[in-house]
Structure 1
Amino acid sequence: MLGEPEYTMNDLFAQLGLDSSDEAIEQFISEHKLGQDDNLVEADFWNDSQRAFLQEEWKLDAVWVEVIDELNARLHESA
């Protein structure tokens, strides 16, 4: 939509309170792979506030949903 900011993976990691450098993101993704049937928001590596943020934004189909979908896809890549 016009006027809405487009968030990046770096923005998402910063919002989640994680290291948002490109290197840290790649490392996180390589160390936290999800199985084909694993749900992103139910993954055990999120704390309660991270899980709540991801769940709420996804449910609302909010401005973050595109980058959350990208993270979800990347965490499931080799499933």
Structure 2
Amino acid sequence: MSERSVIIYISESNSQCKKLIDQMDKWEIPYKTKNVTENNKYMKDLQQQGIFGTPATFIESEQDPILGFQKNKIKYALGIENYKL
């Protein structure tokens, strides 16, 4: 299983964020969340990178963040493409 650092920018009342967090929990992947609704600094951090929506998943060693809930792309980036759930 992956031991890479994962940071997920989320916002309140966003169904895609909830789905992503639920999936990460099912895969038992440790992650840190940064809630842009609770902390405007996190939204500014994203906007400086040209990102204006959530979820945005940053995986250590990946060049670009994964935007939205792209299950297969996240599995591949984490090296768990054959993991079933």
Q: Same fold (TM over 0.5)?
A: no
Q: TM-score, normalized by length of structure 1?
A: 0.25
TM-score if structure 2 supplies the norm length?
Answer: 0.24
Q: Structure 1 or 2: larger strand share?
A: 2
